[in-house]
Each structure stands twice: as structure tokens, then as C-alpha cells.
């Protein structure tokens, strides 16, 4: 179906995440309730019906995860989660973070400085014929 | 429906079966599962873990449309109905399926003297 439809649907679920999530919860809850009623009508006790319905649904979290994985916006969602996780971990160990940033900064700085030197001295020919 | 008997379902046919089920009447998720099980006489038992992702995908692709309605016992439930696009898709998929099924049947029925 149109790529357009998919893009729109993805944007919508990114923008209205809370509502999408709520609807999903409501839908799964309704699934459970309907399943219990259905099973009680076919002669199970309330407890047995609830148990059977839970079994049928499986882990609601797993089902929701399976649904969330659909569509391109889940990739954005996941990357954003990764970024947040990385920042959280870096803040937990400021020493490590400082050393890492310093190492990168010094390493990049030193390499650039040396390259500038090499560039000026060796790579660019002097503007005279016989220096 | 507790167990995943999806192995009995050829890959990709769940979408077609859901679309077909919805030609009968708009239904909510649980109803679709029960209906598939009834019509197939228990051969296909679709669990929620396969059903809901399939519904979501069909809805996103515009083949079915979900709508929150009040049920007969005064609850709100999300009913899915087939869209025009979904109807077209079902027709195409059914045709493809019939062609393939006939071809497979011919291959399976062939005997040494036939060729």
C-alpha cells in the first residue's frame, strides 16, 4: 500500500504515542474480558476462564512489543532509546566519561596539529623553484 | 487458542484469512480469532501474539479500518471492518492462492505414467 499511507501512519503513532499506547492497552484488555465471558458461557468457572484467557493472550507485554515493532517508526523509537541509555550510563560514571572525552579531544587535536605541520612543511610545495 | 498452531498456517495467509473473515461482518480482535477457529474447525488456532500484529499491519496499510464501538454488553471495543482497498487485495490474493493451490495439487497428484 502506498508508501504515503505508511509514512502518515508512522508519523501519527510517533506524535500521538500516549494515545496509541492507551488504545492498545484498551484493546488487549477488551480481548481478555471478551475471552473470559466467552469461556464462561461455554461452561468454565470464572477462575478457570480467567486463567484460560490469560494463557491465550500470553504475555501482554510481549504482544505489545510485537505490535510496536511494526512500521518504520519503531526504528526511530529504538534509536532514541539507545541514545538515552547511553547518556544515562555516561552520567553514571563521570570519570570514565571525562577520560574518554579527553582522550578523543587530545587524540583528534594532536593528529590535526601534526597533519597541519606535515601539510605546511612537506605537502605544499614552496612557491619558489629551487628552495 | 492457547497454543500457537501457526505452523499449520502457510506464511502470509493469515492476512488473507483475516480479510476474508471481515467480509462477513465487522469484528473485534477476539471475534476474528474465534471465527477463524470455528470456520477451520479448529485447524487454525490464532493466538493474540500473531493476531494483533497482523491486525495492526493491515490497519496501517489501509486494508482494514478500526473503530471504537459500544458492544452489546455496553463495553467499548475496537471493531475492524474491511476497506475498499482491503476488498481489492482480498480478491487478488484469493485468485493467486487458487492458482497456486491448483498447481500444487497437480504436482502432488502426478504419477509415473502421467508424463
User: Which of B34, B53, B62 comes nearest A67 by C-beta?
Assistant: B53
Residues A82-125 pLDDT 10s: 999 999 999 999 999 999 999 999 999 999 999 999 888 887 77
Residue A72 in domain: yes
What ipTM was reported for this prediction?
Answer: 0.70
In a domain, residue A119? The reply is yes
* Sequence ranges of the domains in chain B: 12-109
Nearest Cα neighbor of A61 from A21, A6, A96 is: A21
In a domain, A116, yes or no: yes
A131 occurs within a structural domain = no
Kindly identify which residue of chain A lies nearest to residue B29, measuring between CA atoms.
A31
Distance between CA atoms of residues A96 and A43, nearest Å: 63
A99 with A76, same domain? no
**Most confident range, picked from A37-46, A102-111, B62-71:** A102-111
Interchain CB distance below 8 Å, B29 and A31: yes
The answer, for B76 touching chain A at a CB cutoff of 8 Å, is: yes
For residue A63, give the nearest of B34, B52, B78 by CB distance. B52
Please, where are the H alpha helices in chain A? 3-15, 17-41, 46-57, 60-68, 73-92, 94-118
pTM summary value: 0.70
Q: Is residue A130 part of a domain?
A: no
Q: Touching check for A44 and chain B: CB below 8 Å?
A: no
Same domain as A121, residue A109: yes
β-bridge partners, B78: B68
Residues A87, A119: one domain? no
- pLDDT band for position A12 (50/70/90)? confident
Q: What is the pLDDT of residues B19-43, one digit of tens each?
A: 999 998 888 888 898 898 889 888 8
Residue A60 and residue A116 share a domain: no
Check if the beta carbon of residue A55 is closer than 8 Å to that of residue B2.
yes
Same structural domain for residues A83 and A104? no
A75 found inside a domain:
yes
My answer on whether A48 and A75 are in the same domain is yes
Tally of domains within chain A = 2
Residues of A in contact with B35 (CB under 8 A): none
Give the angle subtended at the CA of B86 by the CAs of A61 and B79, to the nearest 5°.
50
Residue B63 in contact with partner chain A when CB distance is under 8 A: yes
Residue A48 within any structural domain of the chain:
yes
pLDDT averaged over every residue in chain A: 84
The answer to whether the Cβ–Cβ distance between B49 and A71 falls below 8 Å is: no
- Same domain for A45 and A82, yes or no, is yes
List CB contacts (< 8 A) between B75 and chain A.
30, 33
Same domain, A118 and A76: no
- Say whether both A25 and A82 belong to one domain: yes
Pair A62, A23 in one domain: yes
pLDDT at A49 over 90: no
Question: Does residue A31 fall inside a structural domain?
Answer: yes
Q: Is residue A43 located within the same domain as residue A105?
A: no
HSE toward the beta carbon, residue B108, CA cutoff 13 A: 6
Q: What is the DSSP string of B17-84?
A: HHHHHHHH--EEHHHHHHHHHHHTTTS----HHHHHHHHHHHHHTTSEEEEEEE-TTS-EEEEEEE-H
Instruction: For residues A40 and B64, give the distance between their C-alpha atoms in angstroms, rounded to a whole number.
Output: 30
Q: CATH topology for B12-109?
A: Arc Repressor Mutant, subunit A (1.10.10)
* Cβ-based contacts of A67 with chain B (< 8 Å): 52-53, 56
The C-alpha of A25 sits at a distance from chain B's nearest C-alpha, in angstroms, of 11
Containing structural domain, residue A67: 3-92
Are A19 and A48 contained in the same domain?
Answer: yes
Q: Cβ–Cβ of A1/B61 closer than 8 Å?
A: yes
Helices A46-57 & A17-41, crossing angle to 10 degrees?
140
Amino acid at each position: 500500500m502506498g508508501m504515503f499511507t505508511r509514512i502518515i501512519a508512522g508519523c501519527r503513532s510517533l506524535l500521538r504515542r500516549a494515545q496509541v499506547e492507551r488504545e492498545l492497552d484498551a484493546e488487549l484488555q477488551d480481548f481478555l474480558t471478551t475471552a473470559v465471558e466467552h469461556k464462561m458461557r461455554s461452561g468454565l468457572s470464572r477462575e478457570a476462564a480467567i486463567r484460560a484467557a490469560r494463557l491465550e493472550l500470553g504475555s501482554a507485554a510481549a504482544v505489545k512489543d510485537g505490535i510496536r515493532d511494526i512500521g518504520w517508526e519503531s526504528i526511530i523509537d529504538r534509536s532514541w532509546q539507545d541514545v538515552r541509555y547511553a547518556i544515562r550510563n555516561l552520567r553514571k560514571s563521570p570519570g570514565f566519561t571525562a577520560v574518554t572525552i579527553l582522550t578523543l579531544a587530545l587524540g583528534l587535536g594532536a593528529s590535526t596539529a601534526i597533519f597541519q605541520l606535515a601539510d605546511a612543511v612537506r605537502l605544499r610545495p614552496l612557491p619558489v623553484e629551487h628552495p | 487458542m492457547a497454543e500457537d498452531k501457526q505452523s499449520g498456517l502457510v506464511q502470509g495467509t493469515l492476512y488473507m484469512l483475516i480479510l476474508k473473515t471481515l467480509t462477513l461482518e465487522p469484528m473485534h480482535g477476539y471475534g476474528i480469532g474465534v471465527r477463524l477457529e470455528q470456520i477451520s474447525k479448529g485447524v487454525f488456532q490464532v493466538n493474540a501474539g500473531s493476531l494483533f500484529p497482523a491486525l495492526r499491519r493491515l490497519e496501517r496499510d489501509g486494508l482494514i479500518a478500526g473503530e471504537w464501538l459500544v458492544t452489546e454488553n455496553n463495553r467499548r471495543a475496537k471493531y475492524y471492518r474491511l476497506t475498499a482497498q482491503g476488498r481489492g487485495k482480498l480478491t487478488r490474493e484469493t485468485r493467486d492462492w487458487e492458482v497456486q493451490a491448483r498447481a500444487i495439487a497437480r504436482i502432488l497428484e502426478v504419477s509415473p505414467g502421467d508424463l
